[in-house]
Amino acid sequence: MTDTSIHYRIRPANPAAHRFEVSCTVMKPDPAGQRFALPAWIPGSYLIREFARNVLSIRAEAGRKPVRLEKVDKHTWQASALKTDLPLTVTCEIYAWDLSVRGAHLDATHAFFNGTSVFLRAIGQESSPCLVDIQPPDGKTFKNWRVATALEPASGEIGSAKRHGFGLYRAESYDALIDHPVEMGTFSLATFEACGVPHDVAITGRHDCDMKRLTADLKRVCEWQIRFFGEPAPMRRYVFLVTAVGDGYGGLEHRASTALLCSRNDLPYRGMKGLPESYRSFLGLCSHEYFHTWNVKRIKPAAFVPYNLDRENYTTQLWAFEGITSYYDDLALLRSGVIELKDWLELTAKTITNVHRSPGRLRQSLAESSFDAWSKFYRPDENTPNAVVSYYAKGALAALALDLTLRKESRNKISLDDVMRVLWARFGQTGNGVGDDDIRLIAEELSGLNLGRFFANTIHGTRDLPLKRLLSPFGVRLEWERAKTASLGIKTGTEGNELKLATVYDDGPAQQAGLAAGDVLVALNGLRVTPAAFDKHLARLNPDDTVELHAFRRDELMQFSVRLAPPPADTARLLADTATSILRKGWLGH
């Protein structure tokens, strides 16, 4: 242990009670009184989560004598000034019962944690190297547990972990420490190499995954992405940490790993034929998080350099870091040969449909959606479809529009691929943050185009993107398909045998008649409404019919006359011309 390093120790002290014991030892504490804090949020997930709320107890000591700790705010503690120059150790018990990619989870089957949930930051010493002693739970039951993480074993130190073992690991700074989540347990493990870089896939939870198929597909996608940005890859190794559950979906990116949550049915099984939609979407998730290894973990918006872990970090650029990543996640599957053109057209049409069905797109720009992610996109409610545009979905379409514009105007000489590689060279490899205008400036510099209006409309405006016109020179037709039934302008959800209005769309028939989100529909034209029967009722009605709806608002029965609207043409289809255009070949391949 070097004199300046911060030494952490984490132990699953009581798996049944979901309690970790975590200590942090500072060799040279601040003489005025060392302060410690837990982050308020985890980078990549833009919501204040106040991880310190799971601290059950905390104490400090130096030379075996207790030191007073004063809580300064919701996530900061200050130790009394020490009269000695002894190391200061703070130990806490942390409750971990959040099976998501963003938190910490512990029971007798496995443990998963992000450093943001468990490791205190010694304020003022963030750049010190860290050593972490990862310990197994006590008891024979746990003797087969091992460790999956992209943290490097602290080789050369006494007690260094072996790969996948317990013991000492190291991180170059606090920022690195909290960017390497850790899985412990009896996970399945497979490894592969992509462009010479070792990759681990660790799957926890009950599953019957065909690891061979999975690693073969991932290898193609990873190699395509490494070559896209250029070898060598920026990480020495990479780990996919997968938790398989009955029903779940999510991912969080890190500099040399990703934490993924999926349904066990999304994983490939032995003997599986073709590419089912569920597995295709899991591969899309893996591809998405992997692309972040470059775009957001290294090419970062200026507001994230460095992260402020105490509060919201505002940026208008999440459309670029999530949207461009969403554009390339499926494109990487296509270009690496994992999916076919028809799959890609289907996936992209789905994104177009999703954006088109949210009235919020006419109200909020991509820049605004990015900036307000903390209070709007990440905190959805019944009115979100009316108020918010997704910087993922519309951001992906903005990336598509930019790519098509650059390719068409330059006859495929310049594309978004080139912009990404310049971003990588100028920002990703230097550590400088990307400013608000940098992407536009790079695209203009490479193409010689003036893109002021494009960015004003696409990123800062709310008009629909002219995708039909942009796709046409590439031999791809965008068509709108009409729904089969007349519209009430609602989105419903079911609770038991009740049909509840989840969202009432702005200016739609239901809203005009006075229905509101949360209303429980009980009868349509005097007939009882059940979740199973509602669509059948509706299918027999014509546009311009007026229907009588009975609904409970709280416990009050209310009656509404609703005049149905014509079926909306709101389902996008993308069709590729049979004759391959040269432009399309340069863009999507064959």
**Amino acid identity, position 127:** S
Q: Residue count at the site for Zn ion (CB under 5 A)?
A: 1
Considering beta carbons, is residue 43 or 185 the nearer one to Zn ion?
Answer: 43
Considering beta carbons, is residue 310 or 322 the nearer one to Zn ion?
Answer: 322
Asked if 306 contacts 433 with a C-beta cutoff of 8 angstroms, the reply is no
Considering beta carbons, is residue 20 or 304 the nearer one to Zn ion?
Answer: 304
Considering beta carbons, is residue 217 or 322 the nearer one to Zn ion?
Answer: 322
- Which residues between 368 and 407 bind Zn ion (CB under 5 A)? none
Dihedral-angle region of residue 185 (phi above 0 means left; psi in -120 to 50 means alpha; beta otherwise): left
CB of 289 to Zn ion, least distance (A): 7
**Amino acid identity, position 225:** Q
Taking Cα atoms as reference points, which of 443, 449, 434 lies closest to residue 399? 443
CB of 563 to Zn ion, least distance (A): 42
Taking Cα atoms as reference points, which of 164, 218, 161 lies closest to residue 187? 164
CB of 330 to Zn ion, least distance (A): 13
Considering beta carbons, is residue 36 or 391 the nearer one to Zn ion?
Answer: 391
CB of 392 to Zn ion, least distance (A): 7
Q: Write each residue from 559 to 588 as x if it is in contact with Zn ion (CB under 5 A), else as -, in one continuous string.
A: ------------------------------
CB of 335 to Zn ion, least distance (A): 19
Helix/strand/coil for 66: strand
CB of 427 to Zn ion, least distance (A): 18
Report the C-alpha gap between 401 and 394 in whole angstroms.
10
CB of 56 to Zn ion, least distance (A): 32
Asked if 255 contacts 296 with a C-beta cutoff of 8 angstroms, the reply is no
Considering beta carbons, is residue 322 or 444 the nearer one to Zn ion?
Answer: 322
Considering beta carbons, is residue 313 or 405 the nearer one to Zn ion?
Answer: 313
CB of 253 to Zn ion, least distance (A): 6
Residue showing the smallest CB distance to Zn ion in the complex: 322
How far CA 182 is from CA of 10, 117, 136, 243, 369, in Å, comes to 11, 11, 12, 12, 32
Taking Cα atoms as reference points, which of 350, 318, 521 lies closest to residue 436? 318
Report the C-alpha gap between 414 and 552 in whole angstroms.
58
Asked if 370 contacts 315 with a C-beta cutoff of 8 angstroms, the reply is yes
Non-local (6+) Cβ contacts of 287 within 8 A are 221, 225, 328, 329, 330, 332, 333
Asked if 241 contacts 181 with a C-beta cutoff of 8 angstroms, the reply is yes
Considering beta carbons, is residue 393 or 521 the nearer one to Zn ion?
Answer: 393
Specify burial of residue 406 (Cβ count, 10 A radius: 0-12, 13-18, 19+): buried
CB of 36 to Zn ion, least distance (A): 30
CB of 292 to Zn ion, least distance (A): 6
Considering beta carbons, is residue 21 or 322 the nearer one to Zn ion?
Answer: 322
- Which residues between 210 and 269 bind Zn ion (CB under 5 A)? none
CB of 188 to Zn ion, least distance (A): 25
Q: What is the CA radius of gyration of the chain?
A: 26
Report the C-alpha gap between 191 and 75 in whole angstroms.
38
Considering beta carbons, is residue 52 or 347 the nearer one to Zn ion?
Answer: 347
- Which residues between 303 and 332 bind Zn ion (CB under 5 A)? 322
Considering beta carbons, is residue 23 or 325 the nearer one to Zn ion?
Answer: 325
Tell me how crowded residue 69 is: count the other CB atoms within 10 A of its CB.
Answer: 20
Specify burial of residue 382 (Cβ count, 10 A radius: 0-12, 13-18, 19+): middle
Strand partners, 23: 9, 91
Report the C-alpha gap between 320 and 330 in whole angstroms.
16
Residue with tokens 């554009």, as numbered in its chain: 327
Considering beta carbons, is residue 169 or 240 the nearer one to Zn ion?
Answer: 240
Instruction: Give me 250's structure tokens.
Output: 């999510």
Instruction: Give me 240's structure tokens.
Output: 């996919």
- Checking DSSP bridges between strand 110-113 and strand 104-106, what pairing results, if any? antiparallel
Helix/strand/coil for 215: helix
CB of 329 to Zn ion, least distance (A): 8
Asked if 501 contacts 511 with a C-beta cutoff of 8 angstroms, the reply is no
Q: Write each residue from 463 to 502 as x if it is in contact with Zn ion (CB under 5 A), else as -, in one continuous string.
A: ----------------------------------------
CB of 287 to Zn ion, least distance (A): 11
Considering beta carbons, is residue 328 or 371 the nearer one to Zn ion?
Answer: 328
Q: Write each residue from 110 to 149 as x if it is in contact with Zn ion (CB under 5 A), else as -, in one continuous string.
A: ----------------------------------------
Please give the residue ranges that form the binding site for Zn ion (CB under 5 A). 322
